Amino acid sequence: KRKRKRKKCKKRKEKKRKCKKRKEKKRKCKKRKEKKRKCKKRKEKKRKCKKRKEKKRKCKKRKEKKRKCKKRKEKKRKCKKRKEKKRKCKKRKEKKRKEKALRERE
């Protein structure tokens, strides 16, 4: 009788030990999953950050383009004004020349 009791006790201890091992395994698995989840989150964050930086860079480029375009337009406008001034000056000189010629004829 005593022997059998001991055997049962041994079996129970074995069962307990296996259960403990299983729990340990589960715990490690949980930890690993948690780690993976955190890693995923970090990667996601990095990706979003990268996207934001890209957006900022594109925006900067667009602004630069706009600025250059504005400068070019300004240059064109000034050039047009200068040409207009030159044209008026030419006309005035032409008028003066004609008047002088008319006076000399008289």
For the stretch 12-40, pLDDT in tens is 888 899 999 999 999 999 999 999 999 99
Please tell me the distance from the alpha carbon of residue 56 to that of residue 62, in angstroms, as a whole number.
Answer: 10
Tell me, yes or no, if the pTM score tops 0.75: no
CA 4, 5, 8, 13 dihedral sign is: negative
Q: In whole angstroms, how far apart are CA 11 and each of 5, 6, 19, 20, 22?
A: 10, 9, 12, 14, 16
For the stretch 32-82, pLDDT in tens is 999 999 999 999 999 999 999 999 999 999 999 999 999 999 999 999 999
Radius of gyration over every alpha carbon of the chain, rounded to an integer in angstroms: 46
Which residues make Cβ contacts (< 8 Å) with residue 73, sequence separation at least 6? Answer: none
